[in-house]
Amino acid sequence: MDIATGVTQAGIAAGSAVIGALIGGLMTSRGATKQWQRDLLRARRDRSHQAAQRLLIAVARMEAAVVEWAADHDAAALGASFNAFSLTTVAENPFLIDDNVANRVRAHVEFTAVFAAIARQGDIPTPMTEAVRRHADAVVSALEAHIADKPLPAYRELPLGRAAELMAWRPE
């Protein structure tokens, strides 16, 4: 073998090594990026499920406060329960990755705020209390579905601002 052939073969070998290293590096980088994206999505989903679990407890506590209010008409206790509920939703709702679930929780905050405001002024009609409880049940069902990664149950938005329609509200 002459020197020119040896140099050519060495150049080809060196070029092949560089190209192989570049391709291998790009493939490794691409794989690592995809794994990072999957890990990020999994972490966001897990955080969302944790937030939903805490919201589930908060909704249940607020519903218990509504039931207690119906028994003793203690508007101060209802107001305190609403404040705790509202603070929990402010802290947890932004972490929900499903906007439909987050919107249902926000609607429940608005509904219970109206309920608590009316309770401070006097008696609330029984149909309003029942509507708040129906909505709490709908929100609980949505949170449970979110936690289980199942489709959300059917839902009709609350007609906030229209008391008669609000009292007659049903989720479907």
Domain ranges of the chain: 46-167
CA 124 vs CA 16, 68, 84, 131: distances in Å: 81, 13, 21, 11
pLDDT above 80 for 93: yes
Q: Alpha-carbon torsion 149, 153, 159, 165, what sign?
A: negative
pLDDT of the residue at 164: 83
Q: What is the pLDDT of residues 51-75, one digit of tens each?
A: 999 999 999 999 999 999 888 888 8
Q: Which CATH number fits domain 46-167: 2.60.120, 1.10.3470, 1.20.120, 3.20.20?
A: 1.20.120
- In the chain, % of residues over pLDDT 90: 55
pLDDT above 80 for 102: yes
pLDDT of the residue at 60: 95
The predicted model scores a pTM of: 0.78
Give the C-alpha separation, 9 to 11, whole Å.
Answer: 5
Residue 36's pLDDT band, with cuts at 50, 70 and 90, is low
